[in-house]
Structure 1
């Protein structure tokens, strides 16, 4: 290409240098607990044998990968011509702990930390407002507290949950997000941990490769719940972003839902149109980790089946081991399709 593609990265994982970074943003009760024992987050328990972060993404001055905004600018934004990076953090397991008040306090502290140490550092960084799922009313309160901040562009929570995310228990989150004009994103990472359900429909797998591969089934179940529970009839302006859950499963789910709806619509009388219509109007997916069949034409056909040109957002998953460089994926797309997926869809969704 003669002109370098402009990019908006919809999934960049920034992190704390240490748990103690949150202390200035916590009330004394929680501050003492974190200072004494750390965050105590319940990660999935399925550890990657190749690590989680790229070794070359560790900042020169020390600290975990993704913990230095200046280095992220140097290693990610500048080389890849990124106009914006949507920060998603790495504390999704806050939603599977057993203490709703502590979880909400940690989420709020992380949001304040993100604003001060990242969003105020470079205008190209845009933030995702982390909420914990245990108490949706506390989550809604957090959305109202910071939802109008100009650097915040979406709400983010875990895709791991105690019950399907479409159920009315969670509706205060969607109501607050719609009220503040923010999409809601869900992101994996805590499946099988804490009070979340097993990471697969048949229980607990043995290996990380199984856990990682089956994350797509979590997104299938959550999306089905959002549609069938009528979330998008109740909140017609709401958009939902499915981050890091894969892509190629979507046409099958749309076909299967539409087929079942024709015979079972009496169970969901609040739905006014086909499930696939709600999906096309309200759902976005991110590219990473993009499926890579041996013949690209097969993925191209799948893209055509669900209008990927208007529903996909480019994501790198920086600084994780399965990072997808914008220079190396989906090269077979037409120029206009690349512009939409790598730039224009996110620009429009997030109002950038």
Structure 2
């Protein structure tokens, strides 16, 4: 880049050094379980031949990638002139376990851990308030408990679920988020695990490459559900952030929804405008993993179709294998477009 612009990274995966880090924050009734057996997280089960983390992201003092705040600052934030890093964690598998009480307890413990070990350490770290999906009433209670903490800028949960996320079962979460002035962020990672649905509409694929490629289809289903179930009419101040699900699929979904709405609007009488308008007014999408075709002009056309300048947020996905360096992606953007996508949109959304 010819100009060193300020950046807000909207998907930085901090992690625990050990699951035992949560023990001081767990109620006594749950400490023995975690101390003896760990969290028992259910992952997707798909083997990645390149692993998950960058090999160069291991902290020199030990621990897994993303577990050392000082090293995240040194390796990521300072070299790339990042004003803020939005921490998204890596406990998404908690939301597909079978015990709703345990899932809620782990979410609360993690949030307290995040405050003490990350948010209080450096004001450039901003947190995502983690909630589990199994019991929306408990999730809403957690949002009300910590939603006013200045270090949290959004609520985050897994895109892996038992049903489409627009359905009214989940509405207590959205009501609490709107009440606390926080966007809702969805992040993949546990599709096909535990009590979640299969990771594709056709069922369970064989290989990680299939699983990883089809993650965007889950986002398409959730977004369609959120619109058609009237979530944005019921909660008009609510914003959604779709993290790590790609963006190139968005135009055809907007066109298909609008086309079907013209004939089938009687099924969704609560909608007061075209479905694509709700997407533009209420939804943001992170850049990573950005789809960069061999002909950059093709992606430029997609950006024009979705008004990318106003709905995209830069994300690196640090410290994962498919990290997108801000110096190497979307170089063809005009300076104003780059400034909005890499900085201004997030600054405005998160009130930074």
Q: Name the CA distance, whole Å, in 2 between partners of 1:47 and 1:132.
A: 25
Q: Does 1:336 align with 2:325?
A: no
1:269 counterpart residue number: 269
2:46 counterpart residue number: 46
The size of the alignment, in residue pairs, is: 352
TM-score (norm 2): 0.99
1:263-301 Cα offsets, whole Å, 9 max, x none, are 000000000000000000000000000001001000000
- The alignment partner of 2:72 has SS state of helix
1:168 counterpart residue number: 168
Q: Does 1:251 align with 2:251?
A: yes
Q: Which runs of 5+ in 1 are unaligned?
A: none
Q: Name the CA distance, whole Å, in 1 between partners of 2:84 and 2:66.
A: 16
1:62 counterpart residue number: 62
- The alignment partner of 1:138 has SS state of helix
1:183 counterpart residue number: 183
1:241-263 Cα offsets, whole Å, 9 max, x none, are 00000000000000000000000
- The alignment partner of 1:223 has SS state of helix
Q: What is the CA-CA distance between 1:3 and the residue it aligns to?
A: 3.6
Q: Name the CA distance, whole Å, in 2 between partners of 1:108 and 1:49.
A: 33
Q: Name the CA distance, whole Å, in 1 between partners of 2:169 and 2:350.
A: 26
Q: Name the CA distance, whole Å, in 2 between partners of 1:190 and 1:30.
A: 23
- The alignment partner of 2:126 has SS state of strand
Q: What is the CA-CA distance between 1:174 and the residue it aligns to?
A: 0.2
2:4 counterpart residue number: 4
1:221 counterpart residue number: 221
1:260 counterpart residue number: 260
1:3-45 Cα offsets, whole Å, 9 max, x none, are 4110000000000000100000000111110000000010111
Q: Which runs of 5+ in 2 are unaligned?
A: none
Q: What is the CA-CA distance between 1:2 and the residue it aligns to?
A: 5.0
TM-score (norm 1): 0.99
2:30 counterpart residue number: 30
- The alignment partner of 1:259 has SS state of helix
- After TM superposition, the structure 1 = structure 2 runs for residues 117-128 of structure 1, keeping only pairs within 5 Å, are 117-128=117-128
1:242 counterpart residue number: 242
1:351 counterpart residue number: 351
- The alignment partner of 1:248 has SS state of coil
Q: Name the CA distance, whole Å, in 1 between partners of 2:123 and 2:12.
A: 15
Which portions of structure 1, spanning 4 or more consecutive aligned residues, are displaced by more than 6 angstroms? Answer: none
Q: Name the CA distance, whole Å, in 2 between partners of 1:117 and 1:177.
A: 24
